[in-house]
Amino acid sequence: MTPAPAVAVRIGARALTRRYGALVANDAIDLSVAPGTIHSIVGGNGAGKSTLMRILQGVDFPDAGTVVLNDEPVRLSGPADAFARGVGMVHQEFMLAPPLSLLENLILAREPVGAAGLIDWRKAEEEAGNLAALAGAAIDWRLKAADAPIHVRQILEILRLLYRGADVLILDEPTAVLAPAQIVELLKLMGKLRDEGRTILFISHKLDEVMKCSDAITVMRAGRVVARTTASDTNVDALARAMVGDHAPALLIESRERPSGTPLFSARALAARDPLGFERLGPVDLDIRAGEIVGVAAVGGNGQDELVACAAGILAPAAGSIRLGGEDLAGASTARFRAAGVGYVSADRAHEGLCLTASLADNFIAGRERDTAFSRLGFLRPANIRAAAARGLAGLSVRYGSVDDPASSLSGGNQQRLAIARELSRAPRLLVVSQPTRGVDIAGTAFIHNLIADFRDRGGAVLLVSESLDELLALSDRILCLFNGRISGELSRSEAGVETVGRLMLGRRAAA
C-alpha cells in the first residue's frame, strides 16, 4: 500500500491550468505532495481549491499542464482511473446510501464474495472490524447511514476509501459539519493514517486546524498558488494574510445606530425542521427594524438555512410565529410573504435565485407577470417586459448580449446582480439575503454590498446570512450567532470581531 520510498511526489500538479470561459480557475498550478504527509490546501472561496481537487480526482480535466502521480505526469481518464491509482476523495456532501447500514455502505461496489456468488458477510464484518480498530472508533455497523451521527458518517466516508485500497485521501472540508470534540478526533485519525504511510490532502479554511495537523501547507488565491510553507514556518496570521492578499481592507459599509420603533419583522419561538425531518432551528426570537441589517453567523448546518427559508416564506415553520409589519404570516404561502413585502435572494442561484434556462427578461419580471405593466387580460406585453429588464440591467453594469439571452449566459457574479436587482425592483420592505457574494469576485462583491446598504439606507430591513465573516462584519448593523439552531449570542457591529463571532458560532462564550 505504501508507495516506494524513492518517490518524491505521490500526487501533485505541474503547470496545471483550467479555464471556465473567461475565468481562470487554476492558473499554472504547481503542487508537490510528498508521500506520507498531510498537505493542507487553504484559500478563500473561489481560490480554485475545489477545481484543483476535482482535477486530481479525475472528475475534471486540465486545459494545460498535467496531474502528477508518483513523479510521473499522468492523464486521468476519470475518477475510477484515479481510484485505481490509489487516489480517493471524501466530498463535502456525504456520498452514502441513507437506507443502507453502515456495513453495507462500506462494502458497496466492492463486496467480498463467497461461495455461490453470495456476499460473504463474515468477511465483511471482519474487515469492518479491522478498519474500526484502525480508526480507533467504536462503530455500530448495523446502524443505517441515515440514523448514524454526522461524525460517524464522516469517518465512514474515510474508512470506505481505505477499504477500497486508497492510499491518497483527498478530504474536502471534512470538519465543516463537525463539533469541536469530533474535529479533534478526526485530526487524530488523519495523523494516524499519515503515520502509517498514507498521503492526505486536507482542504480547509479553518486555519487553526490546518496549523495543528499539517506537514506542508499550500495557500491558493484567485486560481494561483501564492505561498508554500510548513506549519512550523508560519502562523495563523501569516496564512490569513496570504489567503486574503494585499488588497485594501474590505470596503466597510457605514454602520448605523439601531433604529427605534416597532420591529418590521418579528419572529417568536420560531422552530423549523430540515427536509429530512430533523429539528434544525429554534426556538428563536428575532426582530428586525426598518433601516437595519441583521447578520446571522453560523457554521453550516446550524439552522441558518432554515431561518432564511422561514423568513422568506419558502418553508413552513414547525412552530412559532412570523409577523411582518403587524401582519401575521403564520402558515402563509410564499406568494403572500412576497405580497406582504418580503424579497428573497437565495444562496442557490442556479436552482432558486434564477431560472438559468429562461431569458434575462423573464428572470427579471418573474413573479410580477400579472402586473398591468407586464400583461393585459392575461396576455404578456413582451415589449414592456424587455424594456423593464433593459432598464433594470442598465443600472447594474452587467455586460450582456440581449435581454432575450438565457440567464446562463451571464457570469456567476452577474447572475447574482440580476437576482438581487429583481428582488429590489419589487420594492420590498424586508430583504432576506443568503450568501449574496458566494463565488463573486471583489468588484462584484463591493457592488452587491452597496446595493444592500443602499436598500438599508432607504429604510429597508435586511436579514443577511453569510458564511463569510468578513462580509457579515462589513455589512451588518447587528450580528446574531446561531449554534445548534439557537441564538448563541448577539453583538452590535462595534462589539463584533472575527474572534468573538467565531467563538459564539461554536457555542462558546464570548471572551470576557
Partner 1 sequence: MMRALRPRVADGLGAAAPFVFALAIGAVVLFAAGFEPLSVYRLMIEEGFGGERRIAATLTASTPLLLTGLAAAIAFRSGVFNVGAEGCFYLGGLTAAVIGFSAPSWPSALVLGAGLGAAALIGGLWLLGPGLLRARLGVDEVVTTLMLNFIAVGITSWLVNGPLLARGSANSATPAIALNATLPRLLPPTTLHLGFAISLALVIAYGVWGRFTVGGFRSRLVGTNPRFARAVGIEPERVLVATMVVSGAVGGLAGAIHALGLVHRFVGGFSPGYGFTGIAIALLARNSALGVIVASILFGALSSAGASIQLFSNVPIEIVQILQGAVMVFATAKLGRLWRRAG
Binding region for partner 1 (CB under 8 A): 312, 314, 333-335, 337-339, 344, 346, 348, 351-358, 362, 366-367, 369-370, 375, 378-380, 382, 422
Give CA angle at 163 (1, 5), nearest 5°: 15
Q: Which CB atom, from 11 or from 308, has the smaller least distance to partner 1?
A: 308
Cβ–Cβ under 8 Å, residues 438 and 45: yes
Q: Least Å distance between CB 407 and partner 1?
A: 10
Q: Which CB atom, from 346 or from 437, has the smaller least distance to partner 1?
A: 346
C-alpha pair distances (Å), 192 with each of 188, 364, 458: 6, 54, 56
Q: Least Å distance between CB 313 and partner 1?
A: 9
Round to whole Å and give the CA distance between 184 and 182: 5
Q: Which of 429, 427, 466 is nearest to 448 (CA)?
A: 466
Round to whole Å and give the CA distance between 470 and 174: 22
Q: Which CB atom, from 262 or from 357, has the smaller least distance to partner 1?
A: 357
Cell matching residue 470: 468578513
Q: Least Å distance between CB 362 and partner 1?
A: 7
Q: Can you give the length of the chain in residues?
A: 512
Q: Which CB atom, from 142 or from 370, has the smaller least distance to partner 1?
A: 370
Round to whole Å and give the CA distance between 219 and 239: 7
Q: Which CB atom, from 293 or from 419, has the smaller least distance to partner 1?
A: 419
Other Cβ atoms within 10 Å of 157 Cβ, number? 21
Round to whole Å and give the CA distance between 162 and 298: 32
Q: What is the dihedral of CA 143, 144, 150, 153, to 10 degrees?
A: 90
Round to whole Å and give the CA distance between 480 and 488: 8
Q: Least Å distance between CB 486 and partner 1?
A: 26
Q: Least Å distance between CB 68 and partner 1?
A: 29
Amino acid at position 140, single letter: D
Burial of 261 (0-12, 13-18, 19+ CB in 10 A): exposed
Q: Which CB atom, from 8 or from 335, has the smaller least distance to partner 1?
A: 335
Q: Which CB atom, from 322 or from 481, has the smaller least distance to partner 1?
A: 322
Q: Which CB atom, from 354 or from 481, has the smaller least distance to partner 1?
A: 354
Round to whole Å and give the CA distance between 310 and 304: 10
User: Whose grid coordinates read 438555512?
Assistant: 305
Q: Which CB atom, from 269 or from 380, has the smaller least distance to partner 1?
A: 380
Q: Least Å distance between CB 334 and partner 1?
A: 5
Beta bridge partner(s), residue 294: 463, 478
Label the pairing between strands 461-465 and 72-74.
Answer: unpaired
C-alpha pair distances (Å), 318 with each of 179, 199, 282, 343: 25, 45, 9, 22
Q: Which CB atom, from 242 or from 312, has the smaller least distance to partner 1?
A: 312
* Contact partners, residue 54, CB within 8 Å, separation at least 6: 60
C-alpha pair distances (Å), 101 with each of 142, 178, 277, 278: 5, 21, 19, 19
Q: Least Å distance between CB 330 and partner 1?
A: 17
Q: Least Å distance between CB 273 and partner 1?
A: 16
Q: Which CB atom, from 113 or from 335, has the smaller least distance to partner 1?
A: 335
Round to whole Å and give the CA distance between 505 and 302: 9
Q: Least Å distance between CB 423 and partner 1?
A: 9
Round to whole Å and give the CA distance between 132 and 144: 16
Q: Least Å distance between CB 346 and partner 1?
A: 6
* Contact partners, residue 391, CB within 8 Å, separation at least 6: none
Cβ–Cβ under 8 Å, residues 403 and 410: no
Q: Least Å distance between CB 444 and partner 1?
A: 21
Q: Which CB atom, from 222 or from 355, has the smaller least distance to partner 1?
A: 355
Q: Least Å distance between CB 146 and partner 1?
A: 18
Round to whole Å and give the CA distance between 477 and 464: 10
